[in-house]
Amino acid sequence: MQKRWAVALVLALGLALGSAGCSQADAEKTASTIHAYLPTVVSLANEAATVAAALDPSDAAEIQSVSAKVQKDLTELELISGTYASAPSSSVWTQLTAVVDQLVSDADSGLLAAANIKDASSQAKAKIALSALDAAVHVVDGYLQAAQPPATVQKTAAARNVKLHEVTQYWNSADWQRVNDRFGGHAQELAEDETRIGF
C-alpha cells in the first residue's frame, strides 16, 4: 500500500509536463484553488504544532521550529495566493511559487526530523501529525506545478533537496485518506507517477 502512495502523487505534475505552458486563466484558477484549500493545510499544521508541543522537550525543539516555519509559510501563502487571485501579476506569481517551494521544503524537513526522533512513542506521534501535513503540502504543490511550463517543473524538481520518495515512505493509506477527506475527495485524483519527473 505504501509503495502505491510512494510512486503515485500529483497527476497535476503529469499534466504540467504534457502542456506547452500555462495561461493566465490557468494561473488564476491555480491560485484560487490553493487559496481555497489553505484552511485545510493550516488545520493540519495546527494539529502538528499541538503534537509537537506535547513531546518531550529533547524531541520537541526541532519539530516545533519546523512547525513554526510551516505556519509562517502558510500565512504568507494565504496572503499571496489571495492577492494573485484578485490582482494577477508576474511578480506576485513568482512570489507564490517561491513560497510554495519553501513550504514544501519546510514540511519535508519536519517529517524527516520526526522520523529521526529516537524515542519510539514520540517518533510515532510526530510522524502521524507531520505525515498528513506533508502529504497535504505536496497536494498544494501539485496544483501549482500543474500550472507551470514543463521546463519550470523539471527545474523545480531538480532543485529540490528532499526527493519525494524520501518522505512518501512515511505516508500511509490512513494519512492519505485523512488528507483526501479534507480536500473534499480531490486529493487522490492528483495521484500519478512523479518519479519520472524527478520529484
User: Tens digits of per-residue pLDDT, 95-133?
Assistant: 999 999 999 999 999 999 999 998 898 899 889 889 989
Distance CA(145)–CA(30), nearest Å, equals: 9
Considering the domain boundaries, does residue 143 fall inside one?
yes
Considering the domain boundaries, does residue 197 fall inside one?
no
- Structure letter (DSSP) for residue 46: H
Considering the domain boundaries, does residue 44 fall inside one?
yes
Considering the domain boundaries, does residue 108 fall inside one?
yes
22 is written with which cell numbers? 500555462
Give me the pLDDT at residue 190, please: 52
Angle (nearest 5°) at CA 124 between 120 and 129: 150
Q: How many domains does the chain have?
A: 1
pTM of the predicted structure, to 2 decimals: 0.84
Give me the pLDDT at residue 128, please: 86
**Inter-CA distances, 54 with 38, 130, 199, Å:** 25, 14, 33
- Structural domain that includes position 39: 2-190
pLDDT at position 25 over 90? no
pLDDT at position 182 over 80? no
pLDDT band at 185 (very low <50, low <70, confident <90, very high): low
